[in-house]
A and B are shown apart, each in its own frame.
Chain A
């Protein structure tokens, strides 16, 4: 079997496994599956329980339920949130764009800055200045994302009043949204940067010991020229796959940062759903996040085979 065929099967398996998990969780957990599927704060009379049970197909045999679940998922029907009184899919779509607005710029900025700074740090890892920088990045790497955002929110927004305290917008103009997003994006970027930085630094330290780097020096190239013409290309390969996996990390990080900055994206949606035990929303969010992470991985795989000829030829 070709490499891409194998990869495709793995992605398909991942999707099937995660969706099945999502089917199994409310039915396997302690308590009434109906309550687990509707959310716990929904008040129901005896008749409506029977009616809803029939309507949702919970009295059918399990394999029939499983088939019904799949046909629902394929039609993007993720259930109905009785707590928010609207279909889960619509809620998530309206919230997702805000979370992406926060996560994607941070991911891109973090990747670019992280690889560049990390490459330089790895190249000159023995200089005192670089060591200090690495220590600083390491501190950020070790802090939980929400703690740093709490501190920056307190210092910059609350005490100094430089940034708005909450939300994505107050008037809705592009400038206003950018002003609201600036601080959260900077914090997220720092986190994504710190991860890429550490990986790139290690990768460059490993690559610079190779003979081709010595040859480039012997050929007459100087310091940074060797780094960016020869070493960088090889050192960046592990970053590309990690970037896709990091997408999941960034999304989860964005959830926490949204909670701290009171922004109405996926993070607060999940947090509110958690407080009111609104299970359909929780599960739907999990599914959507999974689909995004898997597609990011697929994208990275395609990109990787495009960039690295050794993979292409296999």
Chain B
């Protein structure tokens, strides 16, 4: 009896309560990741408040860290700390833009394939398999080489390519939920397919989509940094990858100016780490609850 009651309660628990239930193993890691991410987010949102100088302003070049310029200046005399703070914007915009687009496409395709099955499933999953095999970084390099590099373009291409794994996960989950009795119930009550897909199935797979979304942001951020490192980044914006590229090509490494190349590299790693920590612990938690059920 008590067990039944508990089961009903846990079924009623909404998505957010499920995530923040305090008994998650590794919740500390998730919290740490979240805090780290919030810090970076606030830095990006209020760059002009935090940055000590305008990142385009020119001071004396190649300054070592000092009181006025905490991380010194680069070859053009730009203040590196300010560049670093402004650089978080591109990373976050590209990451979020690409991941949002990828998640929307992936969720839609996964839902349709998993709900309708049959021919639609075959076709959509065929397309997914084809997209999965396109080498993404080389394609982005080619497109960015032909077009004028801009961070919108990079985000758009990544979003258009990276929906595949989300689609696969959503599909398998949608196939499971499709067979449950409450969907059968909705169907016999005469609800339309659109209503069943978006009001009955979608809310029940949000908890699978969320970690995928976070992990997609993380990989988009790494790729953006790699593409800017090749010099294909947006020349009108400061980005971490581009800072490392300049340090690499303009003598920062040879002269051992660690304050030039270390901070952007660490920033990329930390921001990716923050998202991956939250994403992984959500996924792990998801697997554990599945087993209990």
Contact = CB atoms under 8 A, between A and B. Distances in A.
Interface of A: 6, 9-11, 13-14, 17-18, 21, 25-26, 29-31, 36, 138-139, 141-147, 150-151, 154, 158, 198, 202, 205-206, 209, 245, 248, 251-252, 255-256, 259-260, 270-271, 274-275, 277, 279, 282-283, 285-286, 289-290, 293-294, 297
Contacts of A290: 133-135, 138
Contacts of B232: 274
Contacts, number: 127
The interface centre, meaning the residue of A205, A248, A285 with most chain B CB atoms within 10 A of its CB, is: A248
Nearest to A143: B269
A236 to B, nearest CB: 18
15 contacts: A6-B126, A18-B133, A138-B280, A142-B218, A147-B265, A147-B269, A150-B248, A154-B256, A202-B283, A205-B284, A209-B291, A248-B136, A282-B142, A286-B135, A286-B138
A144 B141 CA distance: 16
B31 interface: no
A281 B92 CA distance: 32
Contacts of A206: 287
A146 B137 contact: no
A282 B133 contact: no
A10 B129 contact: yes
A141 B145 contact: no
B142 A146 contact: no
Given A142-B272, A255-B138, A283-B142, 12 more contacts: A11-B133, A14-B130, A30-B147, A143-B268, A150-B253, A255-B137, A256-B229, A256-B230, A271-B230, A277-B145, A279-B146, A282-B145
A64 B125 CA distance: 32
A36 B143 CA distance: 12
Contacts of B277: 138
Interface string B5-40: 000000000000000000000000000000000000
B139 interface: yes
Nearest to B140: A252
Nearest to B264: A147
Contacts of B133: 11, 14, 18, 245, 248, 290, 293-294, 297
Given A13-B126, A17-B130, A144-B222, A25 B265 contact: no
B52 interface: no
Contact of A13 (B130, B218, B273): B130
B96 interface: no
Question: Ordered nearest first, which 3 A-B pairs have the shortest CB separation?
Answer: A252-B137, A142-B272, A29-B146
B135 A251 contact: yes
A139 B269 contact: yes
B262 to A, nearest CB: 8
B43 interface: no
Nearest to B128: A10
B276 interface: yes
A157 B113 CA distance: 52
A195 to B, nearest CB: 11
Interface in B255-293: 256, 261, 265, 268-269, 272-273, 276-277, 280, 283-284, 287, 291
A289 B272 CA distance: 27
A259 B230 CA distance: 9
Contacts of A25: 142-143, 146
A143 B265 contact: yes
A123 to B, nearest CB: 15
Specify the main secondary structure of chain B where it touches its partner. helix
B181 to A, nearest CB: 26
Contacts of B136: 248, 252
A86 to B, nearest CB: 20
Contacts of B284: 202, 205
A283 B284 CA distance: 41
A107 B248 CA distance: 27
Given A141-B276, A252-B135, A285-B138, A26 B269 contact: no
Contacts of A285: 138
A101 B283 CA distance: 36
A21 B244 CA distance: 32
Contact of B231 (A154, A205, A248, A274): A274
B132 interface: yes
B90 interface: no
Given A139-B273, A270-B141, A289-B135, A151 B146 contact: no
B126 A10 contact: yes
A158 B273 CA distance: 28
Interface string B212-254: 0000001000100110011110000000010010001000011
B121 to A, nearest CB: 12
Contacts of A144: 222, 225-226, 229, 241, 265, 268-269
The interface centre, meaning the residue of A30, A245, A252 with most chain B CB atoms within 10 A of its CB, is: A252
Given A13-B126, A17-B130, A142-B276, A274 B145 contact: yes
B26 to A, nearest CB: 9
A36 B265 CA distance: 34
Contacts of B138: 252, 255, 270, 285-286, 289-290
